[in-house]
Structure formats: structure tokens, C-alpha cells
Structure 1
Amino acid sequence: MTDYYFENGLVKLHYYKFGEGPQPMLCFHGFGMHGKQFISLEPALGKKYTFYGFDLFFHKQTKLHDQSLAAVKKGISKQELAALIIDFCAHLHINRFSVIAYSMGTHYATAVTEILGRRIDEYILAAPSSVYPGAIIRLFSKNKTGNKLLEKLVLSKRALINMLNAIKFLRLIDKVGRNILYNEIATAELRFNFYACFTYLRFLETNEEKLIKSLTENNIRSIFIFGKRDKMYPPTIGKAFFAKLKQAEVVILDENHEMINQNFVSTLSRLLL
């Protein structure tokens, strides 16, 4: 595995490259993770794919050129994200590619698929938040009052902890989800990144009609992987969507939200090889 930077007018993007196969796969990790999240796929799938794992915005070594509060509030559009991917692919002479994503990263992969579907071979989502992000994400990202409340909360570690405990008490997230989020608010920088992830990506909300059209017209293989014990994004969130997307492959693992493990690798390898 090697790591690199790609820079354009928006961002200095840090990414990892692993595998040596002829088919490029762009990887979008979950909240609080990093570009190495899918490294466990390399032993089984590294002869078929070359993986490019990005540190996403407000994570690890990737830095926007402007990370001011004003820039965060302005947000990024699907078209701007697609333009970044086009620039990245041009830099590495990538024509067609697949995408794989987990949880928060599924919003990136879905936006790219809506816009650039003509270039995509496979669309693989695990714990697909983009199918139905839920009330909490919509409150803090799309709702002006909710987002302002989150802005106030990030100034106080104690307030954020109390909020997480309240959300868990109301059973809007489970213990696993609460602990993942808790680990991301320990410092002022992490709390800012927590706020920024909700706010900056608010325009990446899935347009079901456009996504289904892109997947169907471009004959993109789509695989959705759920954890049977995932309380954040259980299999039931996809029921209405999958009724419209007839050719989707839906896989349910005996896992909770933290599912990128050997069971995940073995299952996905059987599907892709």
C-alpha cells in the first residue's frame, strides 16, 4: 500500500492506493475512519481491482484549501464533488471505475453515481446511510434551526456528550453508534470536524429518481450490504427504495454497524470474483 496527494482548486486530497488489478475502485469511508478502511479487501480482490481509498473531507490528512466556518456553511454540491472526481481520474488516466462506500461515505458514492453513472461499473454500499439518512442527520444538516443548534453544541464538549446520551436514550442510535460518535468529539478540532461533516455535505442528499435512472440506464451493478443487527441503518430502511430499483442485490450480514471485517470481505469476494 502506498499513499499520495492529489491537489486541485478545492482540496489537497490524501489517498491510499492498494491492489494491482486492472479495474479501478474508488473507496469512500465512514465517519471518523480513513482511506485505509477497505484495505482488508486487498488480499482477496487485489488482483482484480486497484483500490483508491480517500481520506474524505474533514478526516485525517485531506484538507480543503478553505476550511473556514463560512466555507463549511456554503457546502459542496454534487456537481462540485463530481468535478473533483473527474479531475482525480484525469490525473491518473482512469476512464471507467467502480465505487465502494460505507455509512457516511455512501453519500459521496451516491452523488458521484448520480452525476457520473456513464463511467461507473459497480456501485457497492455498506450500511447505506444514503438510502435513508434518518431524522438526526436531516435535523443537523438540512434544518436551519437544527444546524444552528449543532454549531452551538460544538463549542462545548459536555453539551455534545449530553446530546449523544439523549439520542441513545431515545433509541435513535444504539450503543455502538453512540461510541463511534463519542470518540470523534474529544478535541475542539474533532468537534469542528463533527459539525463540518453534517454541514458541508448537506447537498449530497440522494435524489432517488436520478440515482435509479443512472443505475438502470448505465447498467451499473448495484450491491447493498446491511448488518442484521445494525440499529443505525437496518435492512428495513431500503424496503421502499428497492421496490423501485428492481435489479439491486441486497445482502444482509449477521453484523452490527461496524461490519467491515472478514465476514464482509468473504461475502463481497464471493459476489465479485
Structure 2
Amino acid sequence: MMTQHYFENDFIKLHYYKFGSGSQAMLCFHGYGMHGRQFTVLESTLGHKYTFYGFDLLFHKGTKLADESLATIKAGFTKPQLTQLIDEFCRYKGIDRFSVIGYSMGSHYATTVVEEMAERIDDYIVAAPSSIYAGRLVSFFSKNQAGNRLLAKLMLSEKAVLRILRLLNKINVIDATARRILNQEFGTPELRYAFYACFTYLRYLETNEEKLIHVLKQYAIKSVFIFGKRDKMYLPTIAKRFFSKYEPSAVLVLDENHEMINHNFAAALADVL
């Protein structure tokens, strides 16, 4: 049975869901516009093995920063800060070793945790792994200073955002599914502000590829990479260069688009864990 909880410190009031009853802990990091319940579909196939903790990520649903001002957002959320938060949460819950799963935007969080806390990780699972290759658009808006300033201005105008989404869909930068998800997330100034904050924070969670590969090998962490063959945003080809340097434990290519966290996903993942 799923239950809801909060973990709170001076920095954040972190809302999370707990489900599953297994002896192993798995921390779950959802995609943009989703919530900590996104991975509850895994309970039916893996709930006997894992107890899942699904967080509402920053600027999503029930999770709130103590200070969500523009100045705080621009200051960023660093890898050491995320590591400290996860470490404090694990001490609060009495968790020593654990696994992580991240989808799309959440893959940046999951990957950072592996980079910084590898000695405690059992399984590393990423789906639609933008942490491997975020794409030119995400990189421009999150890492490029001029791009990030442009994003800040665009987020003040709903009409400008909707026009941009139509254009990106037309030139195949995003597919219809991604456009629908993003349309839903830009309906109010608050949602557009959250979008800006999420993109801005991603610049501080950029994958250190060399370090990631090193710790995955050093600690023999089981790694599973999952793609949707109809996901125009993160096709399997984005991992070609990464996989030339590192051989994962499993690579799954599902007959799915970007919205792939479903019963088919759960069954396929259970087969390799």
C-alpha cells in the first residue's frame, strides 16, 4: 500500500511516497511534470524485492524549498547539496545501501547520486536517460548563459512559450507526446517559473561521464539503460558514444514513446533485476 510522507530540514520540505515491501531500498526520481507516484507501477512486479521511495522533485507537487526566490534558483542546486540531502534522508530512514531509478529529467538526479555515493549503490537504472545526452535545446537553455537568460524572458509570456512549442514540434525537436506534456505545464505563471527553475538547476547536475564510468566499474554496480524506440527525444542512438566506453549490465529498447513508465516497462525491468 502506498503512503505519503515528508522529510524536512532547513533547506527543503521533501514530499515522498513509499510503496513496496521488499528488503532492498530504491530511490525514485521522476520526469519533468510528473510526481513521486510515477513509479508505483513497479510495485506489482518488484514490490516484493524493493521498498520504493518516490520523491516529488524540486519545483514539483508537494516538495517546497525554504526559499524559492529567483536569486536562490540562479545560485543553483549543486551535486554536494543533493548528496547531502540524500544522505540525510537515508540516515532518517535507516537506509544504508540502496538502488536508484531515474526517468528523463530524473536521470540527472539518479546519476549524480551514483557519482557521489557509489559505494552505497546496488542498482542504477535510467530510462530516457537525458543525463547521457540532454540534447542541444536543453543544453542551450540550462548551461548556456545567454540561453538561460532567454528562457527566463520567454517564461514570462505564455503566448511566446506556446509558439515555441509548436515550432519545436514542427521541426521534430520534440514529438507530439512531449508537446502535450509541456503544454500542460505552461498553463500558469507559477508553472512556467517552475519550468525555468528546473532547467536552470540541471546545469549543476551535468554528468561527469568519466567519473560515472569509473565508479560503475569500481563498485560493480548493476546498470540498466532503458529507451523507447518511438521516443524522438531520447532514442537509443544517444548512448552510442557512451556505450563505446562502458558496457552496461542491460540495455532495454521498448516499443514505447517518451511516456514509457507503464506495465510493459515494469515487466521488462523485472526480467533483468
Fold conserved (TM > 0.5)? yes
Q: Which residue of 1 aligns with 2:61?
A: 60
Partners of 1:114 and 1:270 lie apart in 2 by 26
Equivalent residue letter for 2:26: M
Equivalent residue letter for 1:143: N
Partners of 2:202 and 2:230 lie apart in 1 by 27
Q: Which residue of 2 aligns with 1:168?
A: 169
Equivalent residue letter for 1:45: L
Alignment pair present for 1:79 and 2:66: no
RMSD over aligned Cα atoms: 0.8
Q: Secondary structure in 2 aligned to 1:176?
A: helix
Q: Which residue of 2 aligns with 1:224?
A: 225
Q: Which residue of 2 aligns with 1:97?
A: 98
Partners of 1:247 and 1:92 lie apart in 2 by 30
Q: Deviations over 1:78-128 (max 9, x none)?
A: 111011000000000100000011100000000110000000000001111
Post-superposition shift, 1:170? 2.0
Kindly indicate whether the alpha-carbon contact (under 8 Å) linking 1:242 and 1:248 is maintained by their aligned counterparts in 2: no
Query: Mapping of 1:1-273 within 5 angstroms?
Result: 1-272=2-273
Post-superposition shift, 1:44? 1.4
Q: Secondary structure in 2 aligned to 1:201?
A: helix
Partners of 1:177 and 1:86 lie apart in 2 by 33
Partners of 1:43 and 1:144 lie apart in 2 by 44
Kindly indicate whether the alpha-carbon contact (under 8 Å) linking 1:103 and 1:128 is maintained by their aligned counterparts in 2: yes
Post-superposition shift, 1:175? 1.1
Q: Deviations over 1:207-258 (max 9, x none)?
A: 1000001111011000000001110000000011011112441110011111
Post-superposition shift, 1:201? 2.6
Equivalent residue letter for 2:175: D
Partners of 1:182 and 1:69 lie apart in 2 by 23
Partners of 2:228 and 2:262 lie apart in 1 by 12
Post-superposition shift, 1:171? 1.4
Post-superposition shift, 1:177? 1.1
Kindly indicate whether the alpha-carbon contact (under 8 Å) linking 1:124 and 1:222 is maintained by their aligned counterparts in 2: yes
Q: Deviations over 1:31-67 (max 9, x none)?
A: 0000000001111111110000000000000001110
Identical-pair percentage: 60
**Unaligned regions of 5+ residues in structure 2, if any?**
none
**Unaligned regions of 5+ residues in structure 1, if any?**
none
Partners of 1:249 and 1:243 lie apart in 2 by 14
Partners of 2:77 and 2:46 lie apart in 1 by 32
Q: Secondary structure in 2 aligned to 1:86?
A: helix
Partners of 1:100 and 1:163 lie apart in 2 by 31
Q: Deviations over 1:151-176 (max 9, x none)?
A: 00111100100111111122111111
Partners of 1:262 and 1:248 lie apart in 2 by 22
**After TM superposition, which residue ranges in structure 1, 4 or more long, deviate above 6 angstroms?**
none
Partners of 1:205 and 1:25 lie apart in 2 by 22
Q: Deviations over 1:137-194 (max 9, x none)?
A: 1111111111111100111100100111111122111111111111100011101001
TM-score of the two chains, using structure 2 as the length reference: 0.98
